[in-house]
Amino acid sequence: MAGGNERSMKALKEVWKRAENSLCADCGKPDPDWASSTLGVFICLSCSGIHRNIPSISKVKSLKMDYWDDAQVQFLAKHGNAVTKAMYEAHIPIYYYQPTYNDCQVLREQWIRAKYERKEFTEPGKQLPYSDGVKEGILWKRGRDNGQFLPRKFLLSEREGCLKYFTKQDAKEPKINVKIDVINATFQPEKIGNPNGLQITYLKDNKTRNIFVYHESGKEVVDWFNAIRSVQFHYLKVAFPIASDNEIKNRLTRNFLKEGYMEKTGPKQREAFKKRWFTLDHRRLMYFKDPLDAFAKGEVFVGSGENGYSVQKGLPSGTQGNFSWHYGITIVTPDREYLFTCETEADQLEWIRAFTSVINQAMTPQEYAIEAYFKFKS
């Protein structure tokens, strides 16, 4: 605010410290210190960079370092996050994923562009590219065995309640045909090595199958993501007619609780520990030789504390397997103990927090059925 007159500075601070402006209007990050002088919203540094890429819509300035004249301050005072959000977020579909500051760039950018540039949520009943109940197009899919990304035709159908993909454009039969209620989708730009990378997972014979895709267009891949959520939402509305919209919304796509490398040993706990990539998807702890493997080498069910599951820091005394990492974790189940090691103490504590959050939750009837399957399989 260097160079600003005292009156403008005081007025700007008054608007800035309103409760409605204490979080970024776009991602919810606390203490935003940038604002759009054309939209009237208070935003964080990261979102200001996205706004800067749509200069025809938004002009951004620092609240700390830039000069704000009286007219600009009055505009901010008249608008602010509450007024502007009421206008641009008036009719967001219940299934639409609203990203936070923890989400990747493509999700946040397309959310901001959807609001201010395309004005997708300003009118009731507006036809949106992810709300038709059907979506067809090309996504670049990673080959299960060769690792190459090749264009594949995908078809999502609400009427059929499934997602299909075809190896050839003119193929009559799909390579896969997956029921929509067993699908999850989560953005994985770093893992896939593409800023628009999307991981689609589904259950096949009660095992998790991974598909890795991307599209050159950030808008297109986010449209696919929200189309999956839209079809899931309407499918579940029929399947669970007495459930509230919010209950169903909470059953749509979910981010993994934690991913990363750990070492593990076998059931006899005398074998050498081997480095594996782990994914904690709620109660399923899966481990892979490579993060981009289609199938897990194994899965561990993580139940609730009241059913005999717990997580402990460290390894049991006398653990015989050789390990190179020294920050141990023990998962106790009713049947056996699982031993892991982490490279750093920070990793160890993050994994323990993630496991604890799952173990502290009561199990649903569906999860008891999954637990029974794991016990039968073992």
Quick count: other Cβ atoms within 10 Å of Cβ 250? 10
pLDDT given at position 378: 59
Count of helices and strands (H, E) across the chain: 10, 17
Strand partners, 204: 207
CATH number, domain 1-117: 1.10.220.150
For the CA atoms of 281, 285, 288, 294, the dihedral, rounded to the nearest 10 degrees, stands at: -40
Tokens 């919304």 belong to: 249
- CATH number at 134-249: 2.30.29.30
Contact 319, 339 (CB under 8 A): yes
Domain map of the chain by residue range? Answer: 1-117, 134-249, 258-376
From the number of C-beta atoms within 10 Å of its C-beta (0-12, 13-18, 19+), residue 362 rates as exposed
- Topology alike, domains 134-249 and 258-376: yes
Q: Evaluate if residue 3 carries a pLDDT over 50.
A: no
pLDDT digits 0-9 by tens, 95-139 = 999 999 999 999 999 999 999 999 999 999 888 989 888 999 999
pLDDT exceeding 70 applies to what percent of the chain? 98
- By C-alpha distance, which of 343, 340, 345 is closest to 329? 340
Query: Which token pair is 201?
Result: 């997972």
Q: What angle do helix axes 70-78 and 6-16 make, rounded to 10 degrees?
A: 20
Angle at 152 between CA 192 and CA 292, to 5 degrees: 25
Q: What is the assigned CATH class of domain 258-376?
A: mainly beta
Tokens of residue 217, six digits: 């267009």
Q: What is the mean pLDDT of the chain?
A: 91
Overall average pLDDT of the 248-275 stretch: 89
| pLDDT confidence band for 46 (50 / 70 / 90) | very high
* pTM listed for this prediction: 0.91
Residue 2 has pLDDT above 70, yes or no: no
- With a CB cutoff of 8 Å and minimum separation 6, the contacts of 70 are 7, 8, 11
For residue 360 the two structure tokens come to: 């502290």
User: Which secondary-structure segment (H or E) carries 368?
Assistant: helix 365-377
Residues with Cβ within 8 Å of 272's Cβ and at least 6 positions away in sequence, in order, are: 265, 321, 322, 323
In degrees, rounded to 5, the angle at the alpha carbon of residue 159 between the alpha carbons of residues 156 and 163 is 25
Q: Which residue has the higher pLDDT, 230 or 144?
A: 230
Q: Tokens 């990793």 sit at which residue? A: 347
Start-end of H helices in the chain: 6-16, 45-52, 70-78, 80-88, 105-112, 189-192, 218-239, 245-249, 345-359, 365-377
Q: How confident is the model at residue 272 (pLDDT cuts 50, 70, 90)?
A: confident
Give CA separation, 250 vs 5, 96, 233, 254, in Å. Answer: 49, 12, 10, 8
What are the tens digits of pLDDT across the range 316-343? 887 777 888 999 999 999 988 999 999 9
Under 8 Å between Cβ of 263 and 276: yes
Question: Of the given ranges (9-13, 192-196, 307-311), which has the lowest mean pLDDT?
Answer: 9-13
Q: What is the pLDDT of residues 161-203, one digit of tens each?
A: 999 999 887 888 899 899 999 999 999 999 999 999 999 999 8
3-class SS at 43? strand
279 - beta bridge partners? 259, 286
pLDDT in the model for residue 54: 96
Q: How far apart are CA 191 and CA 189, in angstroms?
A: 6
SS3 269: coil
Residue entry with tokens 């598909």 = 211
